[in-house]
Structure 1
């Protein structure tokens, strides 16, 4: 039993050394993976990999079968041509210091006071009025999902603007159904937003389209970002800073919003989407 006992002890001792060496090697490999040294040897994740919430339970895994990206175009991203987009990227990457008088450091907040005059509603759209071309324009839809500020041709004609003022636009717009929307051109107009006590005027570039709509203008992200405006559909208000540092509060016309919504239901093609498709590089 003596020799067998010694052999048994030597076997366990050797096995223990082997296990400790494996654990040490696994720890070293894990550190190398975290440091990024072994990324060329790792298997790429499959398209149907499971998405696990960080810190969550692995039992709540959701299979991923693909990705859905946002639609871009219009004047967003610089324009339709390659040269315009490259110029936009260079401008974005450049470090530019704004003059102190153009930096509007104003806190835009919504409180319970903003709810006092709001009529209970079922997700009414935000419809406001503005002043442009010397006239007050009603039925203006504040649309945060729009990539472009759109003026419909009927409103353009009612403002008594001349088609000679339109600049050409070589891109295309498409509705939700995929049908092409006729673009007459674009025009830049001085537009004023006021709550009666304070006002703010800015130049806004509108795409003029020939398309039936219950609204006169779609006020999209370009105008909202230029104004530094923050809309709240819950409070039915849009707030923006004036050049004097005063907060301007634009109230949504809830009656007009309901009227526009009903009119849009009567129009078969009343749904409009600012979706753009840039022209081909060969000009065709």
Structure 2
């Protein structure tokens, strides 16, 4: 297929003991892993199928058959009304329409003309399947996990994709052996679902270990009653390049040695 394929770069010379000579990849023309396990080849095949180069190799040329038992998608319903109303907002956190518009205007000139995409071609792809479902019973549990933080096992950690910050309770860091003197003073208004606000006491960086990966995670500290000890939001998920699935009650994230899962604790939830 010539230039239509994005071929891998030539292998870098490494010491022999760092590679498994019993495994060989025909795509990379190198040893260390098998061809069928090559994540780079898997991604390239998907890309070629999406742009139409390999569709002739798929059943029926990649076209879905119209027959009894087929799973054709349903026709989308006709839209009769568009609803864009959001009640309220917060001037403190900049959630009002005028604040958002002003912020967009201020940052428009700071954006580069061309976006620079970071290549993660060496990381394995993250995927879920029905084999990841442990319990066949339907559940609507929150994604609650247990983590090692500063050499302490912390339970009741909520993974919340709706949170734009990582939160930890003051009593938890005190149990870890920290005090308010260890906090970096950073008062930030935090806005709840119905618009109520509370302020953070400060910020603390805590080493957090999971699945063979240790990251320095920034957490905002708050004082007050909470159902959870820690709430990990999008900053932690993006730092780990993690993909959560509440349906599978599991989180997966890529590492140089493969995809690592973190199972949710349904009893804790």
Per the normalisation by structure 1, the TM-score is: 0.55
The alpha-carbon distance between structure 1 residues 86 and 168, as it changes in their structure 2 partners (threshold 3 A), is: farther
- Select the structure with the greater relative contact order (CA < 8 A; seq sep ≥ 6): 1
In 2, Cα distance between the equivalents of 1:155 and 1:88?
40
Secondary structure of 2:267's match?
Answer: helix
Say which SS state the counterpart of residue 63 (structure 1) adopts: coil
- How far is 1:256 from its partner? 0.7
Q: Which of 217, 220, 228 is matched with 1:215 structurally?
A: 228
**Aligned CA distance change for structure 1 residues 200 and 92 (closer, same or farther; 3 Å):** farther
1:125 aligned residue: 142
1:95 to partner: Cα distance:
5.4
| 1:215 partner SS | coil
1:146 equivalenced with 2:163 (yes/no)? yes
After superposition, the Cα gap between the structure-2 partners of 1:93 and 1:154, relative to the gap in structure 1 and judged at 3 Å, is farther
- 1:256 paired with 2:255, answer no
SS, match of residue 62 in structure 1: coil
Deviation at 1:173, TM superposition (A): 1.5
Specify every segment of 5 or more residues in structure 1 that has no aligned partner in the other structure, as ranges: 1-54, 75-81, 258-284
Q: Residue 236 of structure 1 aligns with which residue?
A: 249
Distance 2:240 2:149 in 1: 15
Structure 1 residue 167, shift from structure 2 partner: 1.3
Alignment partner of 1:62 is 2:63: no
Whose helix fraction is larger, Structure 1's or Structure 2's? Answer: 1
- Does the aligned pair in 2 maintain the 1:181–1:211 contact within 8 Å? no
User: CA 1:169–1:123 in 2, change beyond 3 Å: closer, same or farther?
Assistant: same
- 1:146–1:88: structure 2 CA closer, same or farther, 3 Å change rule? farther
Listed one character per residue, the Cα deviations across residues 78-133 of structure 1 (whole Å, up to 9, x for unaligned) are xxxx99x97898477785575x7x76521111112111x23624301110011111
Is residue 188 from structure 1 mapped to residue 188 from structure 2 by the alignment?
no
Mapped contact 1:224–1:230 kept (Cα < 8 A):
yes
Which residue does the alignment assign to 2:130? Answer: 112
How many Å separate the matches in 2 of 1:86 and 1:207? 26
Q: Give secondary structure in 1 for the equivalent of 2:201.
A: strand
1:167 aligned onto 2:180:
no
Go from structure 1 to structure 2 and tell me whether the alpha carbon gap of 1:90 and 1:141 turns closer, same or farther (over 3 Å shift): same
> Which range moved further: 174-183 or 233-242?
174-183
- Say if 2:187 and 2:199, in contact at 8 Å, map to a contact too: no
1:206 maps to which of 197, 201, 219: 219
Q: CA RMSD in A?
A: 3.3
Corresponding pairs, count? 184
TM-superposed CA distance for 1:207, in Å, is 0.7
**In the alignment, is residue 247 of structure 1 matched against residue 265 of structure 2?**
no
SS of residue in 2 equivalent to 1:223: helix
CA deviations over 1:227-256 (Å, ceiling 9, x no partner): 1101111111100112x2411110001111
Return 5+ residue gaps in structure 2 as ranges.
1-74, 95-101
Instruction: Find the residue that maps to 1:120 and give its secondary structure.
Output: coil
Instruction: Specify whether residues 230 and 182 from structure 1 end up closer, same or farther in structure 2 by C-alpha distance, changes over 3 A only.
Output: same
